[in-house]
Amino acid sequence: MRSEDYGLGSLNARTTQPIDFRTMKQPPSVLLAGAGAHGFNTYCRQVLPRLAGLGKIRLAGVVEPVAESRERARTELGLQPDQVWENGREALERAQAQIVIVATPYFAHEELCLAAAERGLALFIEKPVSDTLAGVWRIVEAVRRAGVKAAVNMSARFEEEKIRFGRLLRSGVIGRVDYVFCRMAWNHEANARYRADAPHPYLMEAGVHALDMLREYAGGRPERVFNLTWPTPGNVFEGNANAVVSMTMDNGARAVLEGSWTLRAVTHSWRNEYIRADGSEGSLLLDHRRIQILRGREESESGLAVREVWPEQVGLTSTDLLLERFVDWVEERCDQHPTDLEDNLQCMALLFAALASAERRTELSVPAYLEECREAES
């Protein structure tokens, strides 16, 4: 599947003013772009029906180039035949949407985001924002020029146990955070599909969530990064589906990600990650959704003190939380979004600097790499 499969090549730019949601008498109308496996299971089956049922959104329709997936989405959402489109050009011209959910494969994000922003539409974008940092930067600039709101679906950090883990760190339960480690790894060969020949499939789709969590838990902004990657011989993934990423934050904290999509023995898969933060007054551990506060020493007379902390009931989580908050944000019922595009730019800079580090086989400055990209696009 290619970006042109979404039919945006001949789309004429039409710059408009951003939509003033305050003047609307009806809930905003949402267009879903991309109804493949993730788009269908997350949005068609779960998130969009819930929000529509609450009266918070209206469904404008779905754009999806694959006929079978398009019809499946139409049936699931109860849409009329004239509410589904094969390509983005037709969808953007006819859907009369105010919000576009960009759930296409990431290499097809840029053209759709640019076209939607030029029409004054708000954007809720699946991660990663684009397939290159240059593409991310062009989207950021288009959003700024258009004055529209945009956010990125970094859903993993907003799962119940991750919300609790982050709150505990921010409360100072282990003092100053010095180091954070995350192991997120499993075998993803059965779902390789278009990812099979990607140069860095794990980091681009799963690992980016871990990088987002690590930068949040360590605090500060990513300063330096080194990425050790490698392929697994005989695996479906031809590229580097294994990675060990080390990073330094501008507050002095360090973080490391250990990840893979090629394991034969799986211990810390999605939602069962091992995440440990070491601080000046102890450690905080998240392992298979269990949270523990650790203090003391195993070899001491008093031993290691372990206190179990169960995740709180936090209400909405993951994509449900982030998309509902996005709707509230664009309708000005709240003044910020936790994963807005401007903040996510730091995560994207970290991701693509890590990929460049692997290619160049050296440690890189994340701010310098972002500036290198900005200058190349200016």
Per mean pLDDT, which range of 10-14, 25-29, 84-88 is the poorest? 10-14
Residue 147 and residue 117: Cα distance in Å, rounded? 8
pLDDT of residue 155: 97
Give the burial class of 310: count Cβ atoms within 10 A of its Cβ; 0-12 exposed, 13-18 middle, 19 or more buried: exposed
pLDDT tens readout for residues 80-126: 999 999 999 899 999 999 999 999 999 999 999 999 999 999 999 99
Question: How large is the angle between the packed helices 109-118 and 133-146, nearest 10 degrees?
Answer: 10
The average pLDDT across 291-299 equals 88
- The radius of gyration of the chain's CA atoms, rounded to the nearest angstrom, is 21
Q: CA-to-CA distance for 187 and 365, rounded, in angstroms?
A: 31
Residue 293's DSSP bridge partners are: 284, 307
Q: Pick from 257, 220, 251, 233: which is nearest to 351 by CA?
A: 257
Q: Which residues have C-beta within 8 Å of that of residue 31, sequence separation ≥ 6?
A: 60, 61, 62, 63, 91, 92, 95, 97, 99, 100, 101
Residue 133 identity (one-letter amino acid) = L
Decide if 348 contacts 355 (C-beta within 8 A). no
Contact 101, 70 (CB under 8 A): no
Beta bridge partners of 364: 225
What confidence tier does 172 reach under pLDDT thresholds 50, 70, 90? very high
Place 234 in a pLDDT band, splitting at 50, 70 and 90: very high
Q: How many CB atoms lie within 10 A of CB 299?
A: 7
CATH annotation of 3-156+319-339: 3.40.50.720
Q: Are 242 and 215 in contact (CB under 8 A)?
A: no
pLDDT at 151: 98
Portions of the chain given CATH number 3.30.360.10: 160-316
Query: Amino acid identity of 314?
Result: V
For 304-334, write each residue's pLDDT tens digit: 889 998 767 778 999 999 999 999 999 999 9
DSSP letter for 268, please. B
Q: How far apart are CA 352 and CA 373, in angstroms?
A: 10
End-to-end Cα spacing for the chain? 30
- Sequence letter at residue 246: S
Measured CA to CA, the distance from residue 319 to residue 341 in angstroms comes to 16
**CA distance linking residue 58 with residue 65, whole number of Å:** 22
The answer to whether residues 102 and 30 touch, using CB atoms and an 8 Å cutoff, is: no
- CA dihedral of 255, 218, 209, 53, whole degrees rounded to 10: 170
What angle is formed at CA 229 by the lines to CA 223 and CA 234, rounded to 5 degrees?
A: 165
256: left (phi over 0), alpha (psi -120 to 50) or beta: beta
Residue 14 has pLDDT above 60, yes or no: no
Per-residue pLDDT, 297: 81
Amino acid at 38: H
- 226: alpha, beta or left? (left if phi > 0; alpha if psi -120 to 50): beta
Separation CA 158–CA 41 (nearest Å) = 18
Residue extent(s) of CATH 3.40.50.720 domains in the chain: 3-156+319-339
pLDDT for the residue numbered 303: 74
pLDDT of residue 21: 60
- Cα separation, 14 vs 22, in Å, equals 23
pLDDT number for residue 1: 53
Q: Is 294 exposed, middle or buried (0-12, 13-18, 19+ CB in 10 A)?
A: middle
pLDDT at position 222 is: 97
Structure tokens given for 62: 């779905």
Give the predicted TM-score (pTM) of the model.
Answer: 0.93
Does the domain at 160-316 match CATH 3.40.50.1820? Answer given as no
Both tokens assigned to 308: 């179990």
